Amino acid sequence: MYNNNKSNTETLAKYLSLDQGGKVQAEYIWIDGDSGLRSKTRPLDFNPADVSEISEWNFDGSSTNQAPGDDSDVLLRPVAIFKDPFRGGDNILVLNECFNNDGTPNRTNHRHSCAKVMKTYTDQHPWFGIEQEYTLFESDGSVLGWPKGGFPGPQGPYYCSVGANVAFGRDVVEAHYRACLYAGVNISGINAEVMPGQWEFQVGPCEGIDMGDHLWIARFLLQRVAEDFGIIVSFHPKPIKGDWNGAGCHTNYSTQAMREEGGIKAIHAAIDKMAARHADHITVYGEDNDQRLTGRHETGHISQFSYGVANRGASIRIPRHVAAEGKGYLEDRRPASNIDPYRVTQIIVESSLA
């Protein structure tokens, strides 16, 4: 019987080793109407040197919550290329923006407006680093590593843990890390998180629009890797109710002025501007974020803005070494694990630099 949870790697390898006849397989990837990822493949007759050489494509938007059934074609417009770690060779992953038939950006296309904002402030050189937390589940709906029908021991020994009794899912995490490196994603680290079965990877520093591009591809790679292991990835900000940490997407941010000598003044000025738009930020900082931002479990309360040096219970944290050196970056701890990074990076730049 075919195992739907795990691919037969030896059998698959036999086919993946076959000559492709000069064709390049291009996996077109896009964001759907529910902030999920979709993809489909087509062959190219050449190995593109630039994304501008790749033709547009389309898909049935009525099946992805992006268009009505009587006008369902949605256009895929390639915007970034990454190497394909699953097929290898010259095969590629192609990230796309979605457009309607009239040429306007689809309502799910937040990259389009983000790219305009980043271009406006390109002389400020905005850098981002995002810490993506996520939770691994088994196919039966239980958190990976948790006792069936029960709960593990209290949080404490799981963060950055080592050992089979406290670290669960390392094979998925390591495979994902290597896949990101191969693909060209600017991944900068991994670690086990506070809740058992929960992990984090970091992407960055990336400048401008590259932040959203690299994080979305990293998410795609994680879900594809987990698929091979028969594991389900959850980006919900509070996957388990109760006395367990939620999952966030802490967003580190700096401009050239913040990174230069005396940059702490620019950091404080940005924080003051971001504080004035706290409610606006929260609206794009993830669904169900109210379940996570409770003022407990290393979070600030969703209705209150705060900041502090080395304070993980604040909305925005200034790292200790940044305060000591008088320059560097800030960490916005409000974004949830299910954010659209284009929306988050856009509002941070708009509110801090406008």
8 A C-beta contact, residue 215 and residue 337: no
4 pLDDT higher than 70? no
What are the tokens at 45?
Answer: 């007759």
Q: Is the same domain home to 229 and 342?
A: yes
The tens digit of pLDDT for each residue in 158-175 reads 999 999 999 999 999 999
Q: Angle between the 210-229 and 111-120 helix axes, to the nearest 10 degrees?
A: 140
**pLDDT value of residue 6:** 54
Percentage helix, strand, coil for the chain under 3-state DSSP, each rounded to 5 = 30, 25, 45
- Which of 78, 108, 138 finishes a domain? 108
Tell me if the bond preceding 205 is cis, omega within 30° of 0. yes
Please count the other Cβ atoms lying within 10 Å of the Cβ belonging to residue 219: 24
Q: Are 72 and 123 found together in one domain?
A: no
Residue 284 sits in the same domain as residue 137: yes
The beta-strand segments (E) located in 294-341 are 307-309, 316-318, 330-332
Query: For residues 82 and 20, what is the distance between their CA atoms, to the nearest angstrom?
Result: 19
Length of the chain: 354
Residues 177 and 254 occupy one common structural domain: yes
* Distance from C-alpha of 270 to C-alpha of 252, rounded to nearest angstrom: 13
Among the candidates 74, 108, 142, a domain finishes at 108
Domain membership of residue 40 (yes or no) is yes
Averaged pLDDT of the chain = 96
CA dihedral 29, 14, 138, 238 (to 10 degrees): -20
Band of residue 2 on the pLDDT scale cut at 50, 70, 90: very low
pLDDT digits (tens, 9 = 90+) for 69-115: 988 999 999 999 999 999 999 999 999 999 999 999 999 999 999 99
Shared-domain flag, residues 51 and 129: no
Q: Summarize pLDDT for 252-283 with one digit per residue, the tens.
A: 999 999 999 999 999 999 999 999 999 999 99
- pLDDT on residue 146: 96
SS3 213: helix
Domain that holds residue 74: 23-108
Q: Is residue 10 part of a domain?
A: no
Q: Do 269 and 185 sit in the same domain of this protein?
A: yes
Single pTM value for the model: 0.96
Look up the CATH number of the domain holding residue 99: 3.10.20.70
Checking phi first, is residue 289 left (phi over 0); if not, alpha (psi -120 to 50) or beta? alpha
pLDDT in tens, 175-232: 999 999 999 999 999 999 999 999 999 999 999 999 999 999 999 999 999 999 999 9
Q: Considering its fold, how many domains does the chain have in total?
A: 2
Identify which of 10, 182, 188 has the alpha carbon closest to the alpha carbon of residue 85: 182
